[in-house]
């Protein structure tokens, strides 16, 4: 279990998170949602151990996450940062292979050949034909898919995703999230994703954490959380919510403030 207890975080003198408590159990997909500037990415950075809270602590299986050696933590948790990977000159296959770092000796060797693991990740993300192409020859969306493949070969039990559908068209958004969900169910992973698209969050997440003014405004399933009253309170806009015709999950329809 990953837990945040009494988290307070400040950025440039401004308190972004206020006495925040939340926990994430194994085998679920969680979405962190809320308007811009409420601390979604800040919370994800704290959960990953990249940053330390001004007050409170993050615990992984009961241990303070900041006390874990980085390589030990990397075997348990993988993070897809906002913006994906930079357009460096390595090939796609080389970058995906870098996800094996937590399992390598100081000489860069592993006990067994990771080629099959890398091949599977490339295939899952539709990158097999691009594996010898350099990263600086890829589009932003392709680099995002490489970043996820790199996470897959890391074989973590917890995945943190910061706006994973950035740069992707709707087809690849669905492909990426379908892959994450399939991977999560197959291996019983815990996935925590910061998402801006509430409809995608509703379709793919088991539970949603709604941040508002640095606190948790709501926590629960999409059907429990995504209501017109909450959307109006948190996002300050009027919406209509209808069930998805296939899944029955709530889908948000924007409502103009005036008749066009």
pLDDT score recorded for residue 23: 94
Give me the chain's average pLDDT, please.
90
Q: Is the pLDDT of residue 258 over 70?
A: no
Q: Is the pLDDT of residue 87 over 70?
A: no
Measuring CA to CA, which residue among 141, 160, 125, 252 is closest to residue 201? 252
Q: What is the pTM of this model?
A: 0.89
Q: Is the pLDDT of residue 239 over 80?
A: yes
pLDDT tens digits along 225-237: 999 999 999 999 9
pLDDT tens digits along 127-180: 999 999 999 998 877 888 898 899 989 999 999 999 888 778 888 888 889 988
Domain parsing of the chain, residue ranges:
2-222
CATH tag for 2-222 (out of 3.40.50.300, 3.20.20.110, 3.40.630.30, 3.40.190.10):
3.40.50.300
Residues 6+ apart with CB under 8 A from 191: 28, 29, 30, 158, 159, 161, 180, 184
Q: If pLDDT is split at 50, 70 and 90, which confidence band does 30 have?
A: very high
């Amino acid at each position: 279990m990953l837990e945040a207890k009494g988290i307070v975080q400040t950025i440039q003198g401004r308190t972004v998170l206020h006495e925040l408590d939340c926990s994430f159990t194994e085998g679920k997909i969680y979405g962190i949602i809320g308007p811009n500037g409420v601390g979604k990415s800040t919370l994800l950075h704290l959960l990953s151990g990249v940053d330390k809270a001004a007050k409170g602590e993050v615990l992984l299986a009961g241990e303070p996450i900041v006390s874990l050696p980085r390589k030990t933590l990397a075997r348990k948790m993988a993070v897809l940062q906002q913006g994906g990977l930079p357009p460096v000159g390595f090939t796609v296959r080389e970058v995906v292979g870098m996800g094996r770092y937590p399992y390598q000796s100081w000489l860069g060797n592993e006990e067994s050949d990771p080629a099959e693991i890398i091949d599977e990740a490339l295939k899952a993300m539709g990158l097999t034909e691009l594996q010898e192409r350099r990263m600086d020859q890829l589009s932003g969306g392709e680099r995002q898919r490489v970043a996820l493949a790199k996470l897959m070969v890391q074989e973590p039990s917890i995945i943190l995703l910061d706006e994973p559908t950035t740069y992707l068209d709707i087809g690849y958004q669905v492909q990426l999230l379908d892959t994450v969900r399939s991977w999560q169910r197959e291996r019983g992973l815990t996935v925590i994703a910061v998402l801006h698209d509430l409809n995608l969050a509703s379709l793919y997440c088991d539970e949603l954490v709604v941040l508002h003014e640095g606190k948790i405004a709501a926590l629960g399933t999409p059907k429990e959380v995504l209501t017109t009253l909450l959307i109006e309170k948190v996002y300050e806009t009027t919406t209509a919510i209808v069930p998805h015709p296939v899944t029955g999950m709530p889908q948000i329809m924007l409502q103009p403030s005036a008749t066009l």
